[in-house]
Structures are given as C-alpha cells and as structure tokens.
Amino acid sequence: MSVTSERIKSSRQQKKLTQQGLADIINSSRGSVAKIETDVFTPSYAMLSLIADALDTTVEYLQGKTDSPLKTPAVKDNGDEKEPLTENQRHIAYSIDPDVSDEEREDIIKMVQLAMKHRRRI
C-alpha cells in the first residue's frame, strides 16, 4: 500500500470513523473510500483536500511529505495583543520604515516567512 492510502486509513481509524462515515463527510461513496485505502484508486488533489479536512490533517501529511499530522493553527491577529514585544520583535519592528505602503508591508512579511521556512530546513 502507498503512504497515502495507509495514512488515510490510519487517520480515519484514529478518528473512529467508518469508511461510510468518511464517505458521508466528503460526499462520496464507501466504495470509493475503500478503493482509495486499498490503492485501487488514486484520489485527485481535490479529493485529498476533502479527506484531509475531514480527518483534521493536511494533504502534505496524507501524501507523506511531512510526518506531522497536525494542521498549522491559524494566527488570529485582532490587534488586542496584551503581551509586550520581545527584544527581537521590537528590534525588527522598529527597523522597518513606518511610512511603508501596504504592498511593501506584504512583501516584507513574505520575505520573512520565506526566510523562516528555509531556516527550519537547515
């Protein structure tokens, strides 16, 4: 069996879902779920995305691209931060021009995220 089919089956069982239960959630048939879990049928990315959502995991985990089944939690930023900035956060925040445009700010955020992503791989 492929990593994908094994992880789908394992995740489904951990959630205590039957094949029919998963099929109902993703609006499919029990037979389709069974075929996916036995490698008879390879699901599309769209189907994998539905399955990942139903199993509260990621497509990357189901495909074997990561070993963490956890979704990255969304960061809710409503501006009501009560915790003060750390020294590093203050240093970075104060080094950015306060007159930066929204487009420039988005570019800076993307560059920082990219740098952090590559730092984790090293």
Residue ranges per domain, the chain? 3-62, 87-121
CATH of domain 3-62: 1.10.260.40
pTM over 0.75: no
User: What was the pLDDT predicted at 122?
Assistant: 44
Angle 3-14/30-37 helices, nearest 10 degrees?
A: 130
For CA atoms 35, 38, 40, 41, the dihedral sign is positive
Q: Give the C-alpha separation, 51 to 65, whole Å.
A: 16
Per-residue pLDDT of 2-38, as tens digits, reads 999 999 999 999 999 999 999 999 999 999 999 999 9
Per-residue pLDDT of 36-90, as tens digits, reads 999 999 999 899 999 999 999 999 999 999 888 887 655 555 555 567 767 776 6
